Amino acid sequence: MDQKQQIVSALAAKTGFSAEELLSWLETPPSPEMGDYAFPCFRLAKALKKAPPAIAQELASALALPQDVARAEAAGGYVNFFLDKSARAKAVLERVFAEGARYGGSELGKGRNVCIDYSSVNIAKPVHIGHLPTTVIGNALYRIYNHLGFHSVGINHLGDWGTQFGKMIVAYRLWGDKEIIEQGGVDELVKLYVRFHQEAEANPSLDEQARAWFKRIEDGDAEALSLFEWFKALTLKEVEQIYDILGIRFDSYAGESFYNDKMDRVVIELREKGLLKLDQGAQIVDLSEYKMPPCIILRSDGATLYATRDIAAALYRKETYDFAKCLYVVAYQQDLHFRQWFKVVELMGYPWAKDLIHVSFGMVSGTEGAFSTRKGNMVKLRDVLSAACEKTYAVICEKSPDLEDKETIARQVGIGALIWNSLYNGRIKDVVFDWDAVLNFDGETGPYAQYTHARACSVLRKAEYQPGAVDCSALTDAEAGAVIAAIDAFPAAVVEAMEKNEPYLVTRAVTGICAAFNKFYYEQRILADDAAVRQARLALTDATRLVIAIGLNLIGICAPERM
């Protein structure tokens, strides 16, 4: 970034534009032959009253080039900058080894908290494949923000309130067996839930009984609360095992029920500020001025809704954590819901409403349509995790039968494949879950990145590499230059991933490093006879290993040293 800053400072001195603005225009050319950085002159044409090619020619010949920039050339409407390859290699390697595991990190967010609401499982329901995107996107953002100096607060906003718990109690009392449920956990609870809906179609009185039992939960009835808390404990026991497998942790499990005593404040405040209106018996905030349907705060029967709870939760989180941002990693189908209640918080006069951010993502469906717990057609996440590990173990046994600790590596690679699959593309993309596609390890996959890391480790072990002085003039070939460029681009990718809340930008940066290193590995002899060349190439291999591991860790994937 220092070289980019120096380039735009030189451009600012000649154009009159600010270096900050020019920095956002600077590009990376599609091929190294076109330079290391490219500056488009098209936006300068109107201000300077000249054609872009003419501006490019003048700038290329008149710029006072920074020390590490070898030359600048005009190419059409662009000025292409070519860095001194040896100087760039030296600067990048020195920074990587000086920062170590903190490479790509910073103190950008020092002293600021970021609340991240993700995963948010439902009590008495299985964690299914549809929970994977929110879980791994949220976990990656948690790690990325921490890497940039923020203090991340991971919140699992449990779905632990609503009439479904009345249904569960009715089903358990009619058909349940405590011992069987204790052994079978959530699976047995789901069977009861599915049976309830099947039976209720023929016997609507079951729904009335369910509402009555939920009312008993709301009123604090001892028997109802005891069953409710039991269902909750069984669910958390299972989901925490899944989170352990994925390497995910949360700082808070405060769910919907936590805000039961915090919603009156919301209603009272909205009423006092003149925002509540009566509409067909319901209490609403009219958002027609903002081209949105009304935000319902209280139903005609006085019951609260998701919006009421979300507003109460936001107020609590601001007062508890004083967040700089509060992210909600929830599927894009809830976009209107978030826009509505974000606007209500703004109308309440809270300036931090602008810091509430819906990090939306595409939905996951099955090949036969949407998943449904009621219909019992869920693909359970634990089954997917197990299948991924089993398939990977079989591949390892076939290709590397002598590998030590095959079970651990199979778990790291199998789980990594699933996470990578969810984080390789931008968030807004619907996904049809397909076993074969998810467990395909060919191409730019998690196993590919992990194998590249293991390959670099293998080279270093074979060479018995010891860090030492590096002659960077031995790293001026095209292949080494591409690796250096990919490593150099990594810190900016981490910052951009944070700014856009898009973890896939880190995934793609890791892919770029892996692709460049593998080409370097095949085209250049790392263990060269010349001692200086050998040491330089091993140092680059060591830097590659380190940065791939950092990148994988940021998206929640292990980096095995042997595969």
pLDDT per residue over 362-416, tens digit each?
Answer: 977 765 555 454 455 567 888 889 988 998 999 899 989 999 999 999 999 999 9
Which tokens sit at 255?
């769910």
Residue 463 confidence class, pLDDT cut points 50, 70, 90? very high
Q: Of the spans 2-11, 178-187, 241-250, 340-349, which averages the highest pLDDT?
A: 340-349
Residues 16-55 as b or e (16 or more Cβ within 10 Å = b): ebebeebbebbeeeeeeebbbbbbbbebbeeebeeebeeb
Distance CA 48, CA 46 (A): 6
Q: In what order do the strands lie in the sheet with 276-279?
A: 276-279, 282-285, 295-298
Residue 404 burial class via C-beta count within 10 angstroms: exposed 0-12, middle 13-18, buried 19 and up: exposed
Report pLDDT for 367.
Answer: 58
Report pLDDT for 18.
Answer: 92
**How many angstroms separate the Cα of 341 from the Cα of each of 97, 296, 363, 539?**
47, 9, 22, 53
Looking at domain 381-554, what is its CATH homologous superfamily? Answer: Isoleucyl-tRNA Synthetase; Domain 1 (1.10.730.10)
Judge whether residue 553 has pLDDT over 90.
Answer: yes
Distance CA 210, CA 216 (A): 10
Arithmetic mean of pLDDT over the chain? 92
pLDDT per residue over 144-165, tens digit each?
Answer: 999 999 999 999 999 998 888 9
Report pLDDT for 435.
Answer: 65
Please state the rounded mean pLDDT for residues 254-276: 94
pLDDT per residue over 317-327, tens digit each?
Answer: 999 999 999 99
What pTM, to 2 d.p., does this model score? 0.90
**How many angstroms separate the Cα of 528 from the Cα of each of 2, 90, 168, 543?**
32, 19, 68, 18
3-state secondary structure of 196: helix
Report pLDDT for 373.
Answer: 47
Q: Strand locations in 486-542, DSSP E?
A: none
Comparing CA positions, the residue from 252, 361, 399 lying closest to residue 317 is 252
Distance CA 439, CA 475 (A): 37
Report pLDDT for 305.
Answer: 86
Comparing CA positions, the residue from 158, 136, 146 lying closest to residue 115 is 146
Distance CA 100, CA 210 (A): 57
Looking at domain 113-262+305-365, what is its CATH homologous superfamily? Answer: HUPs (3.40.50.620)
Q: Give percent above pLDDT 90 in the chain.
A: 78
CB 510 within 8 A of CB 486: no
Q: Strand locations in 76-147, DSSP E?
A: 78-83, 113-117
Please state the rounded mean pLDDT for residues 415-420: 92
Judge whether residue 174 has pLDDT over 50.
Answer: yes
Looking at domain 2-83, what is its CATH homologous superfamily? Answer: Arginyl tRNA synthetase N-terminal domain (3.30.1360.70)
Residue 434 burial class via C-beta count within 10 angstroms: exposed 0-12, middle 13-18, buried 19 and up: exposed
pLDDT per residue over 341-377, tens digit each?
Answer: 999 999 999 999 999 999 999 977 765 555 454 455 5
Domain positions in the chain: 2-83, 113-262+305-365, 381-554
Name which of 18-32, 398-412, 422-436 the model is least confident about: 422-436
Which tokens sit at 62?
């008149």
Comparing CA positions, the residue from 161, 160, 154 lying closest to residue 117 is 154
Distance CA 259, CA 256 (A): 6
Report pLDDT for 30.
Answer: 87
Cβ-Cβ contacts under 8 Å for 243 (sequence gap 6 or more): 119, 135, 249, 250
Distance CA 504, CA 448 (A): 16
Q: Give percent above pLDDT 70 in the chain.
A: 96
